């Protein structure tokens, strides 16, 4: 296999099932497995000290003619999993986005509370990450911020069977549509970054929706109750990267 495909397999394993080698390293968000110690838990996490890490505070934008993301989503969320680090909706094949002349297939979406990325210094109570991969294993993440307000249609569908305990998994009786958690306006900010969980692999395209969506207080609290604490990685240095808008 090509080196890029091998790397991508490791990255996707981390974002979808958190491969057993990383589980054995006992990474988390507090104590000895906290983010500041991720790089020392296993040699596989060497990238956690890299120069292009996520999340970041999005500010100091560079004006750019960003091409629209073309969405080809269908209702394909078929199961919801609590893996101890997040609650994740796994997606059937067939949904994808087009950007940079490539097709990136939607693999899953998951959540962090509070938000990992900030926008102009502002944090949000909840952030969703929609994880995609192209045919060569290159990753693209669409991030959407949730502010407290009206109930979110997409979350309502997923949270009907929200798994409350680590290791719980539930199949949906009706497929969930990822479009229901995205804003109507799909304008975005863009930067190059990494996975926000071990192994922190870099080379990830990040597209952060400019427009936040709402979630009810009850929906936000329901997610937080499953995690028993915050599951957000602290902000990382932007270094020499540019953030486009």
User: Among residues 85, 110, 112, 132, which one is catalytic?
Assistant: 85
The answer to whether the predicted template modeling score (pTM) of the entire model surpasses 0.85 is yes
Residues 43-101 have pLDDT tens digits of 999 999 999 999 999 999 999 999 999 999 999 999 999 999 999 999 999 999 999 99
- Identify the DSSP state of 147: E
Whether omega before 55 lies within 30 degrees of 0, making that bond cis, reads yes
Residues contacting residue 98 through CB under 8 Å, at least 6 positions apart: 69, 70, 72, 104
- β-bridge mates for residue 79, sequence order: 90, 171
SS3 203: strand
Residues of the chain predicted below pLDDT 70: 1-25
Residues contacting residue 115 through CB under 8 Å, at least 6 positions apart: 55, 123, 124, 125, 126, 127, 145, 146, 232
pLDDT recorded at residue 128 = 98
pLDDT recorded at residue 6 = 39
User: What structural domains and CATH numbers belong to the chain?
Assistant: 3-227 (3.10.200.10)
pLDDT recorded at residue 25 = 67
pLDDT recorded at residue 104 = 98
Residues contacting residue 23 through CB under 8 Å, at least 6 positions apart: none
For tokens 């067939």, name the residue: 94
Tell me, yes or no, if 132 is annotated catalytic.
no
Vertex 179, ends 123 and 158: CA angle to 5°? 80
How far, rounded to the nearest angstrom, does the alpha carbon of residue 4 sit from its chain's CA centroid? 21
For tokens 């998994």, name the residue: 169
CA distance 98 to 75: 18
Cα 169 to Cα 57, 66, 226: the distances in Å are: 33, 38, 13
């Amino acid at each position: 296999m090509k080196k890029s495909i091998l790397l991508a397999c490791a990255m996707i394993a981390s974002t979808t099932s958190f491969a057993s080698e990383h589980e054995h390293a006992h990474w988390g968000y507090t104590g000895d497995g906290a983010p500041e110690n991720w790089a020392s838990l296993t040699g596989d996490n060497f990238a956690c000290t890299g120069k292009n890490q996520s999340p970041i505070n999005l500010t100091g934008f560079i004006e750019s003619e960003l091409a629209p993301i073309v969405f080809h989503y269908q209702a394909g969320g078929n199961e919801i999993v609590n893996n101890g680090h997040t609650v994740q909706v796994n997606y059937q094949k067939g949904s994808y986005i087009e950007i940079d002349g490539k097709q990136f297939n939607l693999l899953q979406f998951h959540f962090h509370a509070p938000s990992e990325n900030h926008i102009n210094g502002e944090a949000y109570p909840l952030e969703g990450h929609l994880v995609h991969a192209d045919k060569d294993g290159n990753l693209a993440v669409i991030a959407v911020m949730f502010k407290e307000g009206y109930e979110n249609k997409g979350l309502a569908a997923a949270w009907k069977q929200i798994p409350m305990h680590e290791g719980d998994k539930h199949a949906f009786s009706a497929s969930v549509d990822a479009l229901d958690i995205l804003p109507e306006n799909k304008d975005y900010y863009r930067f190059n970054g990494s996975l926000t969980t071990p192994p922190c692999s870099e080379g990830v395209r990040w597209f952060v929706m400019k427009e936040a969506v709402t979630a009810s207080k009850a929906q936000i609290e329901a997610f937080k109750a499953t995690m028993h604490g915050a599951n957000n990685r602290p902000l990382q240095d932007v270094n020499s990267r540019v953030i486009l808008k």
